[in-house]
Amino acid sequence: MILDRARVEAALPGYELFGVLGSGGFGMVIEARHIRLDRRTAVKVLALPAVAPAEARLLARLRHPHIVEIFDYVEDDGLGLLVMELCDGGTLRSRAAGGLPIAEVVGYGLAIAAALDTAHLQRVIHRDIKPDNVLFTAEGTLKVTDFGVAKMAATTAGDGGPNTIVGTPAYMAPEQFTGARLSPATDLYALGVVLHELLTGRTPPVAWPAGFAPTPPGRARAPKPDRGMLPPAIGSVVRHALEPEPTARPGSALDLALALAHAAARDLGPGWLTACTSPLHIPDVVRSMAASAPPATRFPAAPAPIPSAPAPAPAPVRVPVPRTDTVHRAGGRLRRWVGRRTAGAGTPSRGIVHLSVDSPLGLATGGEGLLYVSQPLAHRVLRIDPAASPVAGPAASPATGPDGAPTVVAVVAGSGKAGLGGDGGPATAADLDSPAGLALAPDGSLLIADSFNDRIRRVRPDGTIITVATSVPLRRPRAVTVAADGTLLVADTDGHRVWRIDLDGSAHVVAGTGSAGFSGDGGPAERAAIGRPVALATDSHGRLLIAVPEHRRVRRVGLDGRVETIAGTGYGGRPAADGGIATSTDMGTPTGLALSPDGTFYVADPSGERVLAVRPDGVVAVIASRPGVVPVGDPRQVAVGADGTLYIAQPGRNRVTVVTPAQLPQL
């Protein structure tokens, strides 16, 4: 494309523009500097402005240290501009030109896998992983970029027909050539090609599908990496990623990372990770695997494409649920309740069930088992009533619960289209944009953190929707809760603050300075740095709990307005285990908070794939984990009903796990 520099300068008056950094079919990238902040950035000038808002919204969802960060999006007179962090440390291809140590290559592979795992859990498939799309900052941190060809998995792997063939042939999986359904395994194949190239100096032969090369009918030709040039254990992992059939590849990016870390420990020794010079932001479980060489672990099978991929479960008992067009259009796709067998039991446990819902996130509980669930990717909020009689109407559908009782799923807010509109009218006809946290007010109103619209919406008991406190300058709010006196508390996530909105609509900051970071324990909360709060809860004393995943802590604001850390230590704390003390335990990345009637609070930790409980005396217990009595994967949010029932939202597994008090481990 031809760069009209004058138009870009006019659209970005606060920036100083420099030279062109690169260009491609999806746009041109130029270097710029934010004048007031003195921050160097990269500005992507989109060749197809019509897709720019979608790409901006997509990138903003993918927050990970190994994914390029987006700062701003500007649209001006048909021009789409993405302002992103500047990665001026070169590409992976340029770094590999002179050869790389094996340990460095594996470290890069772990970083890319960590970035892909975050994207896949958000239902995004990159589709063009290659060395040119892996950049480095000046400090040497690896960043996966160019999500311009990425697609939401709901579209890429949906039921709407074949996909457009997009990608770089040498790195494309067999299913990409035919336009067939894609899944996270598609990106894992590309990562396998990248690892093979970095380790051997050449890409493996393309696994051409039938019809694209002279292969036996109905079969794909597998690449044949040179076994002699690949370390034995690491080579086995690479070859596994290069399987022609998607279902034969590793089950997830996390599984690939675990296997790669384990293989490197076997080939290079348990101290190999210290040889990596690039900063690595990888899950603790992967880092632990890299430090030892346990017996070989067998890969789990790859899941089906994201929209229909249930998490693995021991001996499930499936109760079919009628799937109607209404529920499908609602984005709810209530598929089934799955009762789990408890150890030694001969009948399914009625205390632990998994409710299948597409991409659930925010949770709120009402009386008589009512559950409200937000769906950021479907831009809707659902109400699930496992006890009610079937309700007729355009936004409700009957289903069957674990006991054979009727279950009703209804859309209570959101038209299913991303946007802003509908205030004063029916909530089901209003546009939302990535709704996140939910809360119920004493009058029965439903509060919604309408995250990408930068506001809080209220659905009144009569079904109409309004915006709350329009004057509050929110930035990507992720959570809202209601205090005992009826006032609202809002996590202004990208504004690095927590606001209190009074009944008269006035608002003031109760915690956070507006700057990212961590500081202020023991002092006034409004003078403390609280970087990106994402979950809130209030206890029976009126104290405010704040989950801060980027600093691996849960903080509490007392009645005197002072803030303290009540769980987590940042990095370096003791591993979470039953009986540990919360203030010396590594709480992982807490993204969800919920308080039980007895004062225990629950913490969702997606990085550790677990849910932790902290008793009032500060003692920690592991309530749910990936291999555990209560099985979870990607727990993001939690809620507790009035009867003590625990609800766990797992968007990456498309389910909400429901655990009755009788099935919760004894604390």
> What secondary structure letter does DSSP report for 26?
T
- Those residues whose C-beta lies under 8 Å from the C-beta of residue 37, and which sit 6 or more positions away, are none
Using DSSP's 3-state secondary structure scheme, residue 492 falls into strand
* Residue 224, marked binder: no
What dihedral angle (degrees, nearest 10) is formed by the CA atoms of 75, 78, 83, 88?
180
- Residue 284 and residue 602 in contact, taking contact as beta carbons nearer than 8 Å: no
286 phi/psi in degrees, rounded to 5: -70, -40
- Those residues whose C-beta lies under 8 Å from the C-beta of residue 383, and which sit 6 or more positions away, are 370, 371, 372, 373, 408, 409, 410, 411, 412
Query: Of 201, 285, 299, which is closest to residue 247 (Cα–Cα)?
Result: 299
Residue with tokens 């099935």: 663
Cβ burial, residue 529 (10 Å; 0-12/13-18/19+) = middle
- Within 10 A of 501 (CB to CB), how many other CB atoms are there? 21
Half-sphere exposure of 142 (CA within 13 A, CB side): 29
- Residue 592 and residue 604 in contact, taking contact as beta carbons nearer than 8 Å: yes
From the candidates 128, 146, 255, 605, give the one annotated as an active-site residue. Answer: 128
> What secondary structure letter does DSSP report for 155?
H
- Residue 35 and residue 54 in contact, taking contact as beta carbons nearer than 8 Å: no
Query: Of 417, 350, 354, 360, which is closest to residue 383 (Cα–Cα)?
Result: 360
Query: Of 313, 206, 391, which is closest to residue 629 (Cα–Cα)?
Result: 313
- Within 10 A of 1 (CB to CB), how many other CB atoms are there? 13
- Determine the longest span between alpha carbons in the chain, in angstroms: 75
21 phi/psi in degrees, rounded to 5: -90, -30
Query: Of 207, 144, 202, 143, which is closest to residue 172 (Cα–Cα)?
Result: 207
Is 504 catalytic? The answer is no
Distance CA 98, CA 203 (A): 16
Q: Which H or E element spans position 289?
A: helix 284-290
User: Residue ranges for the binding site?
Assistant: 44
Residue numbers in the known binding site for ATP are 44
Active-site amino acid positions: 128
